[in-house]
């Protein structure tokens, strides 16, 4: 089995996650002190436990945006009435969320317009599509068609025929091997590059400019193997490297573009998209909710985070983290010695497991429903039965046992509980500081 690039000596000596490792060690050291001398603060900053200390892109230590005086008046969300809601914070360590941000249809529609129809979204990995194939998926209410032409070029279109508007590819969530795409209604046919290839009884359209009747393209780009698109055909072109910003070197060092698609599972869950993102931005729950699965492999609530523009780089301490004390920095692996998580704002989470990667896409269809797409990426294709068995078992454990069997079940429970009236406000503590940052980003106008 081939190790990921960051497990070998190829990672740069000053990889972006090295500072996070140092903060993990500082927190582990603090926890080893007697409780009488232990302090949650070191100097001017909080040592990270669940994302406590955050760094800006210059490397300067900074409190989370909701800490201290700024946090006491942080506007976390639009209320159901469309007004800004803020949360009082008497002791400086707590923040509060209005449950309406997860339930209110009007609030959801504002998020859809402001975030999901304007920002580049990561739609998956190009290796999922062989040359000469297509995938149709409805994303946030938009019918999307992803193709990979014979030349290997990826394209993203609206899955809408330019004749009368029917779906060109009615099959959903299945990669189809296609040489061309024929609308089932009147059989208008398109090439995989989107151009119109043919019209039955073309004499019925004598003055039609067929060159202008190709599939409507969405702005798209591929970077490190990841396909990005904006769901607005009128939007400008995407500069994926600029969009990724400081996370671009991470994806290069990890070797994301060289990874291979293994398996994908899509499911609609009765929960708000932000509740799912919340679950992957804090580790307070990991040794508790996941006690029977992955919890024993992790330290209890030890993590460190760096906001990177609107994205997030996040490192979680594992039982193996202390091993780096005897290793040179270039051998500190963000997969084997910790678990690194990237949030590609607003709705993609990438989890770097010890020998594979999970890409999670949360595509909301309503305030209380989300299309959850889990894609497993592996270093190389399985070349024997032993490798196939290993990857199949790993996927089943993580997808069925952890994500769908534990995390999403609780998210759905929370969604149902929000309408019960039990909580006028939801409370966030010291171990959930990444959530404060995330909701502040979501609430930006």
**pLDDT tens-digit series, residues 134-181:** 999 999 999 999 999 999 999 999 999 999 999 999 988 999 999 999
For the stretch 9-44, pLDDT in tens is: 344 557 899 999 999 999 999 998 876 655 554 433
Residue 392 vs residues 264, 280, 299, 398: alpha-carbon distances, Å: 11, 23, 26, 10
Task: Report the pLDDT value the prediction gives residue 86, as an integer from 0 to 100.
Answer: 35
Task: Report the pLDDT value the prediction gives residue 93, as an integer from 0 to 100.
Answer: 84
Q: What are phi and psi of 203, to 5 degrees?
A: -65, -15
Q: State the average pLDDT for the chain.
A: 88
39 CB burial (10 A radius; 0-12, 13-18, 19+): exposed
Percent of the chain scored above 70 by pLDDT?
A: 84
For the stretch 276-327, pLDDT in tens is: 999 999 999 999 999 999 999 999 999 999 999 999 999 999 999 999 999 9
Query: How many whole angstroms from its chain centre is CA 398?
Result: 16
107 CB burial (10 A radius; 0-12, 13-18, 19+): buried
Task: Report the pLDDT value the prediction gives residue 57, as an integer from 0 to 100.
Answer: 45
Domains of the chain by range and CATH? Answer: 5-50+106-117+248-425 (3.90.380.10), 124-236 (2.102.10.10)
Q: Quick one: tokens of 282?
A: 């804090």
Nearest Cα neighbor of 135 from 316, 375, 445, 432 is: 375
User: pTM of the prediction?
Assistant: 0.88
User: Would you say how long the chain is, in residues?
Assistant: 445
Please check whether residue 395 is in contact with residue 388, taking contact to mean a CB–CB distance below 8 angstroms.
no
Task: Report the pLDDT value the prediction gives residue 336, as an integer from 0 to 100.
Answer: 97
Task: Report the pLDDT value the prediction gives residue 85, as an integer from 0 to 100.
Answer: 33
Q: Provide the CB-side half-sphere exposure for 9 (13 A, CA).
A: 2
Q: Residue 6: pLDDT above 90? A: no
**CA–CA dist 44, 301 (Å, integer):** 21
Confidence band for 88, pLDDT divided at 50, 70 and 90: very low
**CA–CA dist 251, 320 (Å, integer):** 23
Q: Quick one: tokens of 68?
A: 């201290």
Q: Residue 5: pLDDT above 70? A: no
Q: Residue 386: pLDDT above 60? A: yes
Q: What angle do CA 225, 258, 254 make, to 5 degrees?
A: 90
Strand runs (DSSP E) across 58-206, as ranges? Answer: 61-63, 75-78, 84-86, 95-97, 121-125, 133-139, 142-148, 154-158, 176-177, 180-182, 189-191, 196-198
Q: What angle do CA 372, 254, 305 make, to 5 degrees?
A: 70
Task: Report the pLDDT value the prediction gives residue 84, as an integer from 0 to 100.
Answer: 31
């Amino acid at each position: 089995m081939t190790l990921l690039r960051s497990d070998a000596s190829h990672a740069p000596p000053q990889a972006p996650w090295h500072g996070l490792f140092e903060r993990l060690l500082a927190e582990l050291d603090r926890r080893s002190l007697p409780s009488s001398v232990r302090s949650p603060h070191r100097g001017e900053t909080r040592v990270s436990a669940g994302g406590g200390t955050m760094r800006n892109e210059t490397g300067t230590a900074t409190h989370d945006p909701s800490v201290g005086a700024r946090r006491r008046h942080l506007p976390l969300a639009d209320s159901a009435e469309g007004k800004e809601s803020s949360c009082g914070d008497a002791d400086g360590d707590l923040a509060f969320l209005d449950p309406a941000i997860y339930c209110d249809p009007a609030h959801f529609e504002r998020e859809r317009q402001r975030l999901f129809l304007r920002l580049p979204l990561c739609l998956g990995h190009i290796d999922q599509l062989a040359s000469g194939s297509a995938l149709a998926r409805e994303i946030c209410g938009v019918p999307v068609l992803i193709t990979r032409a014979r030349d290997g070029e990826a394209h993203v279109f609206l899955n809408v025929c330019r004749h009368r508007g029917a779906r060109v590819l009615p099959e959903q969530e299945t990669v189809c091997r296609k040489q061309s795409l024929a609308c089932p209604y009147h059989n208008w046919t398109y090439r995989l590059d989107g151009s119109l290839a043919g019209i039955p009884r073309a004499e019925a359209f004598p003055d039609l400019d067929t060159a202008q009747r190709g599939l409507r393209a969405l702005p798209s780009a591929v970077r490190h193997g990841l396909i990005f698109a904006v769901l607005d055909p009128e939007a400008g072109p995407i500069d994926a490297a600029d969009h990724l910003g400081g996370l671009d070197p991470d994806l290069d060092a990890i070797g994301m573009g060289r990874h291979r698609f293994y398996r994908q599972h899509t499911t609609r869950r009765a929960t708000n998209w932000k509740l799912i993102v919340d679950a992957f931005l804090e580790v307070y729950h990991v040794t508790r909710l996941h006690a029977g699965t992955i919890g024993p492999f992790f330290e209890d609530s030890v993590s460190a985070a760096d906001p990177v523009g609107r994205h997030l780089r996040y490192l979680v301490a594992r039982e193996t983290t202390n091993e780096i004390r005897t290793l040179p920095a270039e051998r500190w692996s963000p997969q084997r010695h910790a678990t690194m998580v990237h949030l590609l704002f607003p709705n993609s989470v990438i989890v770097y497991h010890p020998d594979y990667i999970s890409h999670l896409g949360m595509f909301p269809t309503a305030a209380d429903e989300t299309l959850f797409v889990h894609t497993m990426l592996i270093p190389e294709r399985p070349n024997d039965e032993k490798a196939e068995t290993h990857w199949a078992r790993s996927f089943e454990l993580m997808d069925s046992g952890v994500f769908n069997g534990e995390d999403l079940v609780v998210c759905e429970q929370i969604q149902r509980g929000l309408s019960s009236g039990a909580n006028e406000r939801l409370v966030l503590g010291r171990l959930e500081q990444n959530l404060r940052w995330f909701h502040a980003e979501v609430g930006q106008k």
